[in-house]
Chains A and B, each alone.
Chain A
Amino acid sequence: MIVGRTDLAVLKPFRIGAAEPWRFSAWHGAALAAALIVAVGIGEAQAAPGTPGIVATILKWTPLLAQGFALNIAMSFLAMAIGTVIGVPLGLAQISLLPPVRAGSWFVTQFFRNSPWLVLLFYCMLLLPFEFRIGHTIVPLPGWLKSTIGLSLPVMANMAELVRGAVRSISFGQWEAADSLAMTRAQTLRMIILPQCVKRMTPPWMNLYAILTVATPLTSVVGVSEAMTLTGDILSSEGRSELLVPMYLYLLLWFFLYCYPIARATLALEKRFAVK
């Protein structure tokens, strides 16, 4: 029987591809680079005689852009750290044996998971004070930090869902075996269930990080001087319309170059874990 060539739908190989989350692929990078080259070419053609070239202008501003991009990365790191550290206990609270804890953590998770990221950003920007006091020291809370907290909220909620899903994906037999060995629930979670979850959660966790990173330019709306805001500043100071498209494509390329290796690593890990 030739499985590959059949009209019977059930015999066709099952493809999981359709259910896979969206990821950066090499094609996106190639398309982006091609678009950038074309845009630069068009820009050069449109440029008024005597003005500096598009490439030279882009290179001139690259150090400033890099500074802004470093802030994007810093915010993504910090938001991921905060979101993970709070998200894990929040996810575990959802499998608590106490109904109020379960219900409360479920509500918090759903609330932050289903709120638009931008709305959460505005809330944090407007509701958090610009500084607060611990004893006699005044701790300033700059805008970028406030928006990082805003970004960490949906990360936290998504992380909680990852934890809950991973715990539930572990077979019930593991709990029964641990129970029959007189292990406590805490011991079972710590030594049996969670170690198995870490492996399952790593690829989606990395995926979440990539999503968070490409979401950091949202903070430009609330005035954080990250790469997106700086690109706007650069364009307005140059005041040249032919620079607009190449400049934003250049910024896109930065994000692609940062996120693509993460996407590849995620895919590689998923493949490796899928075997066992």
Chain B
Amino acid sequence: MVWTPDQPLVSLRAVFKSFRGVEVLKGVSMEVMQGQVICIIGPSGSGKSTLLRCVNALVPIDSGSILVEGQEVNDDKLDKLALRRKVGMVFQQYNLFPHKTALENVMMAPIHVLKRDRKEVEAQAHALIAKVRLQGKEDAYPGELSGGQQQRIAIARSLAMNPDIMLFDEVTAALDPETVKDVLVTIRELAADGMTCMIVTHEMGFAREVANEVYFTDGGVLVEHAPPKQFFASPRDPRTRQFLDQIL
């Protein structure tokens, strides 16, 4: 079956995952359409990060189905590398390569994985670094950048692979408050450009503003989801209400 953009870009069906006997995901199902931005919120340990890692096969699932552009991820014969070329991911701890400059971090995967022309990649990398507003930092090493700057380079590094979807795993959780805004602005611009995004976040204001759909997870299940206005104004489930009361 050939995937067409009118079908979900990512679709999860009854996904189960446990780590050493602890069930982290207990039958999660969700759909993300192309160009959609979804935010996943929920208490710590509710399986949000694991959920994201299942989508690009960083974490294998026990049962269920994950389709990315119509391709089954839960398949022993899956070409993981082909899948990961389409799915970009940004991590809480940035995970930039510390022995490479910002520019080299951005250029590395397109050159060595996609085997693209170095000159062309370099031009794109400069453009991406400008896009995340870090012109002039091309030759800086990650250790010389602030957390927020590193995170924006990490976003540029993922974008350099021209992914169809971006996964953001609590990307502002480790940042100083004053640098959070720059990162959120970058993600918001991406979303405005039509990039499909799955965002795990604790920034409620950001979720309300940027998301098309907000999902609430607790204890490995998706409790409820709704467009942000409705979600924050009138949550249906008592668990959601309790969570929102605690943090808002």
- Knowing A181-B108, A183-B112, say if A173 contacts B81 (CB, 8 Å): no
Q: In the bound complex, do residue B93 and residue A182 qualify as a contact, i.e. CB atoms below 8 Å apart?
A: no
The answer to whether A184 touches B81, judged by C-beta atoms less than 8 angstroms apart, is yes
Residues of B within 8 A of A238 (CB): none
- The CA of A188 and the CA of B80, in the complex, are separated in Å by 15
Q: How many A-B residue pairs have CB under 8 A?
A: 57
CB closest residue in chain A, given B81: A182
Size band of the B side of the interface?
20 to 34
Q: Which of A180, A182, A183, A196 contacts B98 (CB 8 A)?
A: A196
Contact with A along B19-49 (1 / 0, CB 8 A): 0000000000000000000000000000000
Nearest Cβ on chain B to A176's Cβ, whole angstroms: 6
The answer to whether A174 has its CB under 8 Å from any CB of chain B is yes
Closest to B87 in A: A180
Report which of B98, B112, B161 forms a contact with A191, defined as CB distance below 8 A: B112
Q: How far is the CB of A23 from chain B (nearest CB, A)?
A: 27
Is there a chain A Cβ closer than 8 Å to B91's Cβ? yes
Contacts of A177 in B (CB 8 A): 91, 95-97, 154
Closest chain-B Cβ to A114's Cβ sits at a distance in Å of: 32
Q: Nearest Cβ in chain A — how far from B75, in angstroms?
A: 17
Collect the chain B residues with CB atoms within 8 Å of residue A191's CB: 108, 112
Q: Given the complex of chains A and B, what is the CA–CA distance between A179 and B89 in angstroms?
A: 10
Chain A residues near B149 (CB, 8 Å)? Answer: none
What residues of chain A lie closer than 8 Å to B87, measured between beta carbons?
Answer: 180
Q: B112: which of A174, A180, A187, A195 is its contact (CB, 8 Å)?
A: A187
Residues of A within 8 A of B (CB): 171, 173-174, 176-184, 187, 191-192, 195-196, 199, 276
Interface residues of B (CB under 8 A from A): 56, 58, 80-82, 84-85, 87-89, 91, 93, 95-99, 108-109, 112-113, 143, 154, 157-158, 161
